[in-house]
Structure 1
Amino acid sequence: MNANNIPPITEDDIANYLINTPDFFERHASLLAAVQLTSPHGNRAVSLQERQAEMLREKIRNLELRGAEMIRHGHENTAIADKLQRWTRELLLTREARDLPAVAVRAITEHFLVPQVAIRAWGVAPEFADEPFAQGASEDVKAFADSLMRPYCGGNPGLEAAQWLEDPAGAVSLALIPLRAGLAPQAFGLIVLASADSSRFAPDMGTDFLEGIGELTGAALSRLRP
């Protein structure tokens, strides 16, 4: 074969050779000290060993950051669990069923620092029909609550339920949580959480925690039903 027809050696060829010849640097140990690489921290040249040490230090820093992030999330989750436990305890200690909506609203506001909270329930027992929490839910709102398989989170495009709040104009972002009794498909109420911060209740946020709030509140407020 003509030498001019031999394909040039590529970087992949060199890399494959070194991978498949692990004793190469044993036979040519002096090359390890002679190889110079560009440092990622400037344009200076460093030895292969120094570059490897820099890469190892970078990996260690990344692991330390990930560890610190995991610890932070762990502390945050513990704090949330503690608040949820205190909130649940308040519901369980409420003896009068008619007081439950007000207790739930106050506790959510205080423990989870939600600026505005409102609750409405329908289909309640006759003795609760005149309570404030049993007023103002239209058929459209009830149908909307039935349609929610998980909480709605997002902006406030003039939703009717926002009018239950003390300051509807200040409700820039909302979370609407349906209340159900156990596994019943129909909702019997709705929790409205609102904030002036547009990012507080965003469409892409996780809703597991809000779903838990809805399940616990629904279980507690089921005492209002006939």
Structure 2
Amino acid sequence: MNNFNANAMNPITEDDIANYLANTPDFFERHAQLLGQVQLTSPHGNRAVSLQERQAEMLREKIKALEHRVMDMVRHGTENVVTADRLQRWTRGLLTTRDPRGLPGQIAGQLQSLFLVPQTAIKVWDCDSAYRDEAYAQWVSDDVKALATSLTAPYCGLNSGFEAAGWLAEPQAAVSIALIPLRPEPEAAAFGLLVLASPDAQRFNPEMGTDFLERIAELASGALSRLRP
């Protein structure tokens, strides 16, 4: 009587059944006929399917998800290889340039052509006297120099009327912009600023990672050190 009352007060729950089946792996060996009798609802409609068919559907879904992940990995891997190849070609150009006078133009121009950046521009200040008459060393305001030095990482986002956007061939077409400070070492004042711009508002956005742009800045800064006294 006491057992009956206890069972009535604590009826068997779905969790009890699930725990029993999970902890009794030989249950379906003793009751194999149940496997063919269990009917489940298909996620692709209201029809009933067997346990085996439902398991097959779940397996197909897992395989499809894995295929998508593999394709994403292949796509990203291919993109990384292409990017690495372009970076290598760009770096090779910096290393093989004999006359440093043309380096700023080469840095900006090859970034534009190799990485398909719609517009690029560059300015360098505090150059050696031999290069101070070059166009890239002219018309740089103190405000721009202060902005470049204040950037601890490349700025990526909408062009909110940055003075440096005026260096571009078509400033009005610069919707999103990347401002990349050039400095001899991490904590030093900037001696230049590289500008990348696009009419696409999402090309350079605040959420994008800047690791690649920081590597560009380091390589460009190292090459441009030849222009400094």
Instruction: Give the TM-score category using the shorter length.
Output: over 0.9
- The structure 1 residue matched to 2:74, chosen from 71, 89, 101, is 71
C-alpha displacement of 1:8: 2.5
Distance in structure 2 (CA, Å) of the matches to 1:100 and 1:91: 7
**What is aligned with 2:143?**
140
- The structure 2 residue matched to 1:150, chosen from 153, 159, 165, is 153
Distance in structure 1 (CA, Å) of the matches to 2:103 and 2:7: 89
Listed as ranges, the matches of 1:1-226 within 5 Å are 1=2, 2=5, 5-226=8-229
C-alpha displacement of 1:4: 7.8
Q: Which runs of 4+ in 1 moved over 4 A?
A: none
C-alpha displacement of 1:91: 1.5
Identity, % of aligned pairs? 65
Distance in structure 1 (CA, Å) of the matches to 2:221 and 2:47: 65
Q: Aligned letter for 2:11?
A: P
5+ unaligned residues in a row in structure 2: which ranges?
none
**Secondary structure at 1:118's aligned position in 2?**
strand
C-alpha displacement of 1:68: 1.3
**Secondary structure at 2:49's aligned position in 1?**
strand
Q: Deviations over 1:14-58 (max 9, x none)?
A: 111111111111111111110001111221111111111111111
C-alpha displacement of 1:95: 1.2
C-alpha displacement of 1:183: 3.7
Distance in structure 1 (CA, Å) of the matches to 2:210 and 2:12: 56
Q: How many residues align?
A: 226
C-alpha displacement of 1:3: 5.7
Q: Aligned letter for 1:200?
A: R
> Are the aligned partners of 1:182 and 1:219 in contact in 2 as well (CA < 8 Å)?
no
C-alpha displacement of 1:182: 3.5
C-alpha displacement of 1:5: 4.8
